[in-house]
Amino acid sequence: MSALLELKNVSKIYGSLHALDHVSLKVEQGEWLAIMGPSGSGKSTMMNIIGALDKATEGEILLDGVDIAKKTAKALTEIRRDKIGLIFQQFHLVSYLTAVENVMLSQYYHSVPDEKEALEALERVGLKERARHYPSQLSGGEQQRVCVARALINYPEIILADEPTGNLDEANEEIVVELFRKLHEEGTTLVVVTHNPEVAEVAQRTIVLRNGKVERETVNPNFTGKIKHITLQ
C-alpha cells in the first residue's frame, strides 16, 4: 500500500500554544484510521489541517504526493472540493434544503448536480425514502447519514469524520459505523476523530494525541470493522 496522506513534522502554533507539535503520520490508501485524545489534545486542529480547512505553521502535508501545506486559500478550497469528504459532529446540513438537495450541494460545488446519483447515495445510507425531507424532519442519526452520503457523493480520496457519532444514540452510532465499514470495504480511506473508544476500536489503526503530540499508536489485530459495545457493570 502507498501513503495517501503523510504529515511530516507538522506544527500548528497559536501564540505560545503548540496545538500540534511536530507530528508525523502516514495514512495508507484504503486505510481506516481513528484519532483519539482528550479535549485540547490537538485532534480538531489536526482534522482541520488534514481537511485543508486550516494551514500548518510548519511541516509538510502530502496528500496524494502533493504538499498542501503551502497552498493558497483558493487552492485549498479546490483540494477540499476535489479530494476530501467531510463529516461533522453537528451534521451541518442546510436547513432549507431537502436531504437530496443537501447531497447535491456537494456535487454543485464539485461538478454538476445529479439528482439520480444523489438519490443513489441516499439509498446507500438507507435514506432513499426520506430524500425529500428537510433536516428538521429527520432524526439525528438520519441527518448524519445524509452527511455521509454528502461526503461520499464526489468519490473523494479521503473521508474525514470529526466526532461523527458524538451526537448519536447507540443504535444510530452502529448504523453510521456500519456505513464506514462498507465504505472501507469499497476501498475508501477513512480518518475518524472520536472520543469514543468503541468507535476507535473498529478502525484498523488508532493514534492517540496528547498535548499536540502523538502519544501512542495501536493497530487493531482483530480488525473486523464491526462495533462491539462495552456493557458497564
Which residues would be at the binding site for other proteins (CB under 8 A)?
A: 44, 48, 51, 53-54, 74, 77-78, 80-82, 86, 88-90, 92, 94-97, 101, 104-106, 108-110, 112-115, 134, 150, 162-163, 166
- As given in the structure block, the three cell numbers for residue 93 are 446540513
Please provide the distance, in angstroms rounded to a whole number, between the alpha carbons at the two ends of the chain.
41
Least distance (Å) between residue 88 CB and other proteins: 6
On whether the CB atoms of residues 59 and 8 are closer than 8 A, the answer is yes
**Smaller CB distance to other proteins: residue 50 or 181?**
50
Burial state string for 162-178 with b = 16 or more CB within 10 A and e = fewer than 16: bbbbbbbeeebbbbbbb
Least distance (Å) between residue 223 CB and other proteins: 27
Distance CA 120, CA 158 (A): 20
- As given in the structure block, the three cell numbers for residue 160 are 474525514
Least distance (Å) between residue 170 CB and other proteins: 20
Q: Is 232 helix (H, G, I), strand (E, B) or coil?
A: coil
**Smaller CB distance to other proteins: residue 11 or 89?**
89
Least distance (Å) between residue 113 CB and other proteins: 4
Task: Using alpha carbons, select from 103, 89, 106 the residue that is nearest to residue 47.
Answer: 89
Least distance (Å) between residue 233 CB and other proteins: 29
**Smaller CB distance to other proteins: residue 142 or 162?**
162
Residue type, 66: V
**Smaller CB distance to other proteins: residue 96 or 155?**
96
Distance CA 43, CA 37 (A): 7
**Smaller CB distance to other proteins: residue 92 or 216?**
92
**Smaller CB distance to other proteins: residue 182 or 195?**
195
- The CB density around residue 157, as the number of other CB atoms within 10 Å, is 16
Least distance (Å) between residue 100 CB and other proteins: 10
Question: Using the 8-state DSSP alphabet, how is residue 231 labeled?
Answer: P
